[in-house]
Structure 1
Amino acid sequence: MKNVLVGLSLLFFATSAVAQQATAQPRSINAPTANREPAVPLRTWQGIPGLERTAKGRVFVSWFTGGPKEPAPENTVLLCYSDDGGATFTLPRAMAGPRDGSRAFDPTLWIDPLGRLWYIFNRGNKDAAVHGVQARICNDPDAKTPVFGTEFRVGYDAPYSFRMNKPTVLSTGEWIMPVTHAAEPIHEWFAGPKQLQGVGISTDQGKSWKLHGSLQAPNWALECMIIELRDGRLRLLTRTGGGFLWESYSTDRGRSWSAAQANKIANPGSRFFIRRLSSGNLLLVNHYNFKGRSHLTARLSTDDGANWNEGLLLDERSGVSYPDGVQDADGLIWIVYDRDRKGAGEILLAKFREADVAAGKDVSGVVNLKRVVDKLGKPSANTTQTAPPPVRVPFDARQARAAQEAWASHLGLPVESKNSLQIKFVIIPPGEFPMGSTDAQVVQALKWSDPFRMNENTRNRIRETERPQHKVTIEQPFLLATTEVTIGQFRQFVAETKYVTEAEVFGNANAAGPSPSTEVKKNGFDWRNPGYAQIEEDAVSQVTWNDAVVFCNWLSRREKLRPSYERNEKTGWRLLPDADGYRLPTEARWEYACRAGTTTQYSFGDDPGELEKYGWFLLKSGSNPVRKVGSKPANPFGLYDMHGNLFEWCEDFYEARRYDNPDGENTGGVPDDPPRVLRGGDWYGNALRCRSAFRGYGAQSTRSDDVGFRLMRPL
């Protein structure tokens, strides 16, 4: 049998004109516009996933969302993918949304023998009456940016249809797809005798399709799947309401079918998954003999489905359903499924081998269950799981990682993830820490200042702005970029938006040399030419606070997030605290993340003589002042360049004596003269400026060759 474990679904072309639509000019799913890609709706419900894996290892997952229930007019189908074996996934993209009174739902994925990735889904109205099947095709799913063609109708000789499983390829080379259909408008659920099961067959690689079969179950039936038996017969299994699967057989490659009859395979009213493995054995994933949607189990048959073993339990929890999957060339089995659609809204991934199913336990050492691909941004209403406790300083690197992993598990997210610009983020757990310096640390810092030729203004700043040390609680976890934004990442922003930075507008910027800027003499320095040589992986500088905010809003819109900033007449920009988009970290979040459980002058200890191992400072970076991000060791939270390289913009307005009246996190008051906080030290300054507690500042329009920024996202 060709295309082992490729799955099932439906794609039907009614005419050659429709077939031509499949080759329409493709477009990138990563470059949405108002006329092309729909926006991702508020996700209060999601489920019914599909999965495919390319020969090169890229894993695609689809599902649909929208809320607050199913069906809903705003239902939208989504897609994400992973290039690291399912460890992390891209943010979900909307592939199709509401249009002309119809909703998009029930997507699936299929890679055909030509290597093309089909994204197939259904359309129906708000009352769940089925309209038909749609698709988009990607000719090169392994491309750096997967590009899909425009949405087109896949039709055949039945006016109403929908499908929920993907195609397979017979040993004869024919393509065959299961389908639910009717000659009159039908509801997508439980339509009784009106709802028929059949197959579509293509003998010309998908250019045309012919419908065969009008099978009925005694009450209702849908979501059928097909396997080719060793004796050449085709076996169609379908979900019904009787507690068992029903079946039918074809001896002429799907052209005609026997009457449907009950099968001994127990199955509640939920979708199942069946496929032939590379060994020749059959794999079945369903709820075994349980009455409800729980205990999702993988089972094996060595005799073409006559008998099944006890199997491998994938997920025992209530609310797990709708498995789909593939087996890769190395024999690894990938299964995706959903859980608690209206609560946690989890899309989950399981990986295992045939030997694990045969043994009923992990014997291969590769079993990885309950990995979360995506989930809704709220806890399940049905769960009693409590959040991990906040961490309290001091804690070491091992404890820091343990806290990150605990919160990642609680949130259903990986500890580390990458966004659409390939910026890596880590989860920072909530916690409590002492912010600022103790009196003894201030005295210690001032003693160090003499060898560094620290001027009196800076000495006074240390005395006045870092005390008194006070307790601050970070109440919610958040994502923080492991590195500062780079030249290459900022270049993508400028290329897409044609944005002109403030340094370019004014024609001058601060620089240590060779040509310091003055109001009279313009030096032309900007992010492309900060005054020294740079590479794409260096941290971007000569970026103002305002420039950084525009970047944050652009990236938020690019990834279908709500921008965190809006225009404000007095200060230029105002933070929207409830937004889920990118933003600059508050000063408290920055210091908490920098310290990473430590109470010392630096995250590595108290000795400034050790700083050269951890950060770029005082021209230690040589002829190229700003260096490639992440080239020094990370702190216990996995963050790089928190000491040195570039000062980093924070969200807060700067107030020199703020610590005299601390009130927790500063989320941005509005003083009369609003400079913004800068943290972390820089390549030009000395080791004292790189301490965890040191506070710098600059006007929102400050542009300098030692100032950049780092991204944060709330959770």
Structure 2
Amino acid sequence: MSNRAFTSCMPRVLAVLTASACLLASATLSVAEEVPGLVKTRPSEGRYVETDQGFMVPYSVTIPGTELSFRMVPVPGGTYQMGSSEDEPGHKEDEGPQIPVQVEPFWMAEREVNWAEYREFMKLYVVFKRFEQQKLRAVTEENRVDAITAPTQLYEPSFTFEFGDDDNLPAVTMTQYAAKQYSKWLSKVTGLQLRLPSDAEWEYACRAGSQTAYFFGDDPAELDEYAWYAETTNLEEIKPVATKKPNPWGLYDMHGSVAEWVIDEYREDGYAWLAEKAKNGPIPASEAIAWPTEEYPRTVRGGSWEMDAEECRCASKLGSNVPDWKAEDPNLPLSPWWFTSDPARGVGFRLVRPLKEMPREEIARFWEIDSEDVQYDVDVRLQEGRGVLGIVDETLPQAIEELGVDE
């Protein structure tokens, strides 16, 4: 499918204006029905996506209890060809066959989660321990659905942070389970439905209306303008997020920087399991998710600073390998929150938020444990006191402040 054909089948994409200095203040003041990122009136300038609910615009989210914020940008709905053709240089079996997928509008974080943000999540381990000791905000069978586990301290921080841990560097080495718990925590304290993207959503957002190897075309010689990857990265000086050019939809580092978790399991046969269904037309993205049932392999996307250009293509993916990625973990059972070994130091994530809020049981699939092995690892730590559960809701930041927890 050519780029022109792709665009013609997506009328909503035509409503997406070229990114410019968005009027964030006016956007947040005129929110339709007080929904962040949704306004009733067509913006006079800046980037937006027209929907049947209003106009989606970029907006900022402040993490409650902090001065940290991140920006979400709108991604229009539409249909595209997921995967790559066999004649694309670098094509691998796990990228095919190409499948038509229908994607609903959503917002995506314009960059990956950085260390400043992820450290706020890490601090919850000490916070929850204090609550537990003082018998505050107790977790019961009735409210356990609103609980998360917080990651324990890093086993060897000097190794994890060898590339640096400055606030605006991308956070890395977390397991997919930890990333999912992060998204649940942030959802509960902000009141927004945040989660990892699906494989189909991630590639669609990366392509930004293209059907080429990279969102800017097929020539890897241009990749340096948009990505930190093996040929341009000095591992002694890893760069902060969002320091290269964004894609046409305002998303930074979709190629390179760190490879990003999506929700799907990794399949060596790619999309073969969808081929028969695709004969009837485009498949809804929600029905194209390969829901995991085993601890690994799971999918990371976009390539990292350690990978070659062809591994950073829109369709390229990598499957996680727990034994290899936790090879230096001395814990028994192995940590459910952290990896210890490369290439995990080049794995991070970013969040999405759907335009149409999902029912509780559906969004829970993006947050909760879905593997017996991970469940066992978490349960053992809770039983031994090396793990801790805590209730996350909109009252948590105030509770932390009132307790005066020294984080």
Task: Encode CA deviations 1:62-89: one digit per residue, 9 max, x unaligned.
Answer: xxxxxxxxxxxxxxxxxxxxxx773343
Q: Match of 2:185?
A: 554
Map 1:250-649 → 2, pairs under 5 A: 371-372=30-31, 374-375=33-34, 404-407=48-51, 410-412=52-54, 414-421=56-63, 422-441=69-88, 444-445=89-90, 462-474=91-103, 476-498=104-126, 501=151, 504=154, 507=155, 525-526=159-160, 529=161, 531-561=162-192, 581-618=193-230, 620-624=232-236, 626-649=238-261
C-alpha distance 500-639 of structure 1, shift in aligned 2 (>3 A): same
Amino acid at match of 2:347: V
Closer/same/farther in 2, CA of residues 432 and 619 from structure 1, 3 Å limit: same
Report the Cα distance in structure 2 between the residues aligned to 1:646 and 1:653, rounded to whole angstroms.
Answer: 19
Q: Would the aligned equivalents of 2:122 and 2:152 in 1 still touch at CA under 8 Å?
A: no
Contact 1:437 1:469 in 2 (8 A): yes
Q: Which amino acid aligns with 2:151?
A: T
**3-state DSSP of counterpart to 1:86:** helix
Aligned amino acid, residue 597 of structure 1: G
Q: Deviations over 1:604-649 (max 9, x none)?
A: 1111111111100005232445321111010011000000000000
Q: Distance in 2 between matches of 1:435 and 1:477?
A: 16
C-alpha displacement of 1:658: 3.5
Show CA shifts across 1:314-338 (max 9, x none).
xxxxxxxxxxxxxxxxxxxxxxxxx
Structure 1 residue 541: Cα displacement? 0.8
Superposition deviation, residue 667 in structure 1: 2.9
| Residue 426 (structure 1) shift | 0.9
Q: 1:378-409: CA deviations, max 9, x gaps?
A: x9xxx9x9xx9xxxxxxxxxxxx87x4323xx
Paired residues of 1:503 and 1:543 also in contact (CA < 8 A): no
**Shift in alpha-carbon separation, 1:647–1:424, aligned structure 2, 3 A:** same
Distance change (3 Å), C-alpha of 1:612 and 1:647: same
CA shift digits 1:485-544 (9 cap, x unpaired)? 00111122223453753672xx25xxxxxxxxxxxxxx8634xx2x22242111111111
- Kindly state the Cα deviation for residue 436 of structure 1 after the two structures are TM-superposed: 0.7
Given that 1:582 and 1:711 are in contact with CA atoms closer than 8 Å, whether structure 2 keeps it comes out as yes
Three-state SS of the structure 1 residue aligned to 2:31 is strand
Q: Distance in 1 between matches of 2:198 and 2:26?
A: 29
In structure 2, distance between residues paired with 1:434 and 1:623: 34
Q: Pick one of 647, 652, 659 that aligns with 2:271.
A: 659
CA separation of 1:374 and 1:88: change in aligned 2, threshold 3 A: same
Which string of whole-angstrom CA distances, capped at 9 and with x for unpartnered residues, describes residues 189-208 of structure 1? Answer: xxxxxxxxxxxxxxxxxxxx
1: distance between equivalents of 2:125 and 2:153? Answer: 17
Cα deviation for residue 375 of structure 1 reads 3.7
Cα pair 2:200 2:289 within 8 Å, conserved: no
| C-alpha contact 2:227 2:255 (8 A) present in aligned 1 | yes
Aligned to 1:694: 316
Q: Which runs of 5+ in 2 are unaligned?
A: 1-22, 64-68, 127-148, 278-282, 323-335, 356-407
If you compute each CA radius of gyration, which structure gives the higher value, 1 or 2? 1
Return the match for 1:711 from 313, 336, 351. 351
Contact 1:374 1:412 in 2 (8 A): no
Work out the CA distance in 1 between the residues paired with 2:119 and 2:294: 34
Name the structure where helix makes up a greater proportion of residues.
2
Give unmatched runs, 5+ long, in structure 1: 1-83, 90-348, 350-370, 389-400, 446-461, 509-522, 562-580
CA contact (8 A) 1:503 1:525 kept: no
* Alignment coverage as a number of residue pairs: 274
Confirm or deny: 8 A CA contact 1:483 1:630 kept in the other structure.
yes
Matches within 5 A, 1:158-173: none
Q: Work out whether residues 261 and 349 of structure 2, in 8 Å CA contact, stay in contact via their aligned partners in 1.
A: yes
Q: Pairwise CA RMSD of aligned residues?
A: 3.0
Q: Decide whether aligned partners of structure 1 residues 411 and 426 sit closer, same or farther in structure 2, where only a CA change above 3 A counts.
A: farther
Once the two structures are TM-superposed, the CA of residue 479 in structure 1 deviates from its matched residue by 1.1
Give the structure with the larger strand fraction. 1
Instruction: Check conservation: 1:426, 1:479, Cα contact below 8 A.
Output: yes
Structure 1 residue identity aligned to 2:346: D
Judge conservation of contact 2:266–2:297 (CA < 8 Å) in 1.
yes
User: Secondary structure of the equivalent of 2:184?
Assistant: helix
**Counterpart secondary structure, 1:439:** coil
For 2:301 and 2:178, how far apart are their aligned partners in 1?
17
* Alignment partner, residue 346 of structure 1: none
RCO greater where, 1 or 2, for CA within 8 Å and sep 6 or more? 2
Tell me which amino acid in the other structure corresponds to 2:261: W
Q: Contact 2:230/2:306 (CA < 8 Å) preserved in 1?
A: yes
1:113-134 superposed Cα distances (whole Å, 9 cap, x missing partner): xxxxxxxxxxxxxxxxxxxxxx
